[in-house]
A = this chain, B = another copy of it.
């Protein structure tokens, strides 16, 4: 199969953890053995935990050696060390596809480019450049050591994969460039209806609750609080960390009643806001048409949950003129989720 096929597999895997990796980028990696068989498809999952390349090398080592003891290691530093001590000979002929240039700096984890260099891999196909000043340069460092380096942005048949690799970085790049990433979560049915109770399936709610454990601010309108009485916790999260997100309520009411269940969630800060201010960090907005319309100039990405149903009568629907680019879509339980980027004129 052609390079774009394997790079696409890496891109798809990375989307499964989109935003969950923040403030780190979502990154996917695929490793092929010397015969071209897939050894591993992995993605970075949580900031501070091993990068995609390291998880892919870990799994590949197991497939090549049959030694499962490497799965007892969870820290990036430990896996690096283990591979350098035990696995050097296994990786001479492997090919690595990775959506983002391997980091060259030592951050919370050791440098991936350094590890790949020391393991002496044969070939690397890179989806997009690292724009982080500290992390970039991995591609050239590998090239200078004799690794075959293919840069998707320099190959005509990989330009589409390059675009999709770049799209993966929107949340990360937004945080890097302006200090905030604004994600709007919206849920509707096939007919556009958004009222009449819970729209999304349980699996989709779990997905959302996992994301909530990662956000710096959960932004919601005062109207939603008054009408829906939400708790806004992470009870359906499948991740271990079920920390409830801090909530900001956007309302014109000067004396907003603090009665909704969300106010009594332990370890939560609630902020009342009367006008849009400069946001910081990963802000997830959950709301309906009104909040969407208010925030559209700020929104970096939309997470659109589509439930495959229609409701006979409905009043509420979005009254907004907007165009989006579909970055990725995937089925979560019974629902479809679409990651959308607003088109700016």
Contact = CB atoms under 8 A, between A and B. Distances in A.
A227 interface: no
Interface in A293-345: 304, 306, 308-314, 317-326, 329, 331, 334-336, 338, 340
Given A36-B38, A190-B188, A336-B326, A312 B321 contact: yes
Interface residues of A, number: 41
Interface of A: 1, 5, 32-33, 35-38, 41, 188-193, 304, 306, 308-314, 317-326, 329, 331, 334-336, 338, 340
Given A188-B192, A312-B320, A313-B319, A35 B33 contact: yes
Q: How many copies does the complex hold?
A: 2
A32 B32 CA distance: 13
Nearest to A186: B190
A137 B312 CA distance: 46
A1 B336 CA distance: 25
A282 to B, nearest CB: 23
B308 A190 contact: no
Contacts of A334: 325-326
Nearest to A308: B324
Nearest to A321: B312
A311 B192 CA distance: 11
Nearest to A296: B310
Contacts of A331: 326, 329
Contact of A192 (B36, B191, B312, B323): B191
